[in-house]
């Protein structure tokens, strides 16, 4: 049986301290005021939000070819194959680039285009790890993760329009009106893109709308998985741990049949575009 290493990037929310002999995490790079930082190495969550509050010029970046190849080659010293699961190809070119790099490894590196990020990607990574340990091949892991990539969704309530405006996702005029009216946009990540989903007049209303959206999804598109007990709900946030924990209690009351999983910070790659104090609900089908 081939010994397989599972590699992801820090957009999964898996910390470097959670790595083990079969699981590797590639820190994502960020450019802040022209200087490069690596998530969890030279850029902590606290430092990131401090820089954001200081109106620093922050942009996401991609791991260099050297960084990607280095982590693969380190894993291949002790494993026969690598399954690499980067962030969604719809949110970054890193996945497409990795597919090109993998051509030089004679089939020893399999890149999965899972189209997920944050807690939903985290579930995929741990499913892959369990499959590898259960004897599934790299190709079988890839086929499973790509076949089930849309069996998840994330709804995010943004606390400020400042960063959506900065990233060009809304016009300055819309941002001004929205700020004056205290509008809280609700975004959705499902598959490739971060899209607008709804609007709310305050955070309380936004949470109700997110809960209603998931209720609808669980009783329509994902009803079979829900009935079979295969759906898990997670909470994510941007520098908003206290509110996230309170939200967890609300969700436990609303969805008593569902397992409530992670309460995690959202990926900094997402945080960069939506700013602090956001709240998110994610739901994912988990069977492996």
Question: What is the rounded radius of gyration, in angstroms, for the C-alpha atoms of the chain?
Answer: 19
pLDDT in tens, the chain (288 residues): 789 999 999 999 999 999 999 999 999 999 999 999 999 899 999 999 999 889 899 888 889 999 999 999 999 999 999 999 999 887 778 899 999 999 999 999 999 999 999 999 999 999 999 999 999 999 999 999 999 999 999 998 988 767 664 544 443 433 333 343 356 888 888 876 677 788 888 889 999 999 999 999 999 999 999 999 999 999 999 999 999 999 999 999 999 989 999 999 988 888 888 889 999 999 999 987
In the chain the domains, ranked by start, together with CATH numbers, are: 4-28+63-147 (3.40.50.10440), 152-285 (3.30.1180.10)
Residues 108 and 76: beta-carbon distance below 8 Å: yes
Residues 168 and 273: beta-carbon distance below 8 Å: no
Dist CA 25 CA 8 (whole Å): 5
Chain-centroid distance, C-alpha 126: 13
DSSP H or E run through 281:
strand 279-285
Backbone phi, psi, residue 263, to 5°: -120, 95
Residues 245 and 112: beta-carbon distance below 8 Å: no
Burial of 189 (0-12, 13-18, 19+ CB in 10 A): buried
Among 186, 258, 265, smallest CA distance to 229 is for 258
DSSP H or E run through 232:
strand 231-237
- Could you give the C-alpha distances from 165 to 92, 114, 168, 217, 279, in angstroms and in order? 20, 28, 5, 29, 19
Q: What is the pTM of this model?
A: 0.90
The set of residues, in sequence order, having a beta carbon less than 8 Å from that of 212 and lying 6+ positions away, is: none
Token pair of 128 as six digits? 């892959």
Token pair of 143 as six digits? 């086929």
For the chain, give the longest Cα–Cα distance.
61
Dist CA 270 CA 288 (whole Å): 27
């Amino acid at each position: 049986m081939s010994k397989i290493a599972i590699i992801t990037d820090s957009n999964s929310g898996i910390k470097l301290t959670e790595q083990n002999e079969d699981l590797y995490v590639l820190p994502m790079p960020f450019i802040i005021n022209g200087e490069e930082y690596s998530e969890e190495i030279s850029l902590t969550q606290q430092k990131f939000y401090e820089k954001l509050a200081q109106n620093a010029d922050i942009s996401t970046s991609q791991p260099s070819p050297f960084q990607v190849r280095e982590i693969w080659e380190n894993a291949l010293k002790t494993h026969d194959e690598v399954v690499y699961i980067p962030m969604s190809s719809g949110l970054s070119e890193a996945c497409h680039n990795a597919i090109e790099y993998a051509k030089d490894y004679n089939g020893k590196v399999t890149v999965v285009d899972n189209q997920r990020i944050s807690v939903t990607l985290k579930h995929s990574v741990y499913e892959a790890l369990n499959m590898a340990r259960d004897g599934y091949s790299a190709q079988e892991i890839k086929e499973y993760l790509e076949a089930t990539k849309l069996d998840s969704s994330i709804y995010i309530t943004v606390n400020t329009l400042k960063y959506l405006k900065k990233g060009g996702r809304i016009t300055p005029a819309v941002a001004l009106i929205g700020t004056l009216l205290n509008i809280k946009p609700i975004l959705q990540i499902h598959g490739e893109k971060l899209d607008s989903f709804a609007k709310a007049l305050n955070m309380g209303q936004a949470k109700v709308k997110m809960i209603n959206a998931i209720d609808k999804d669980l009783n329509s598109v994902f009803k079979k998985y829900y009935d079979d007990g295969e759906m898990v709900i997670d909470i994510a946030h941007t520098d908003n741990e206290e509110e996230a924990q309170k939200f967890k209690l609300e969700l436990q009351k609303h969805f008593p049949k569902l397992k409530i999983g992670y309460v995690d910070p959202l990926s900094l790659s997402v945080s960069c575009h939506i700013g602090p104090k956001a709240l998110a609900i994610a739901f994912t089908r988990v069977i492996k």
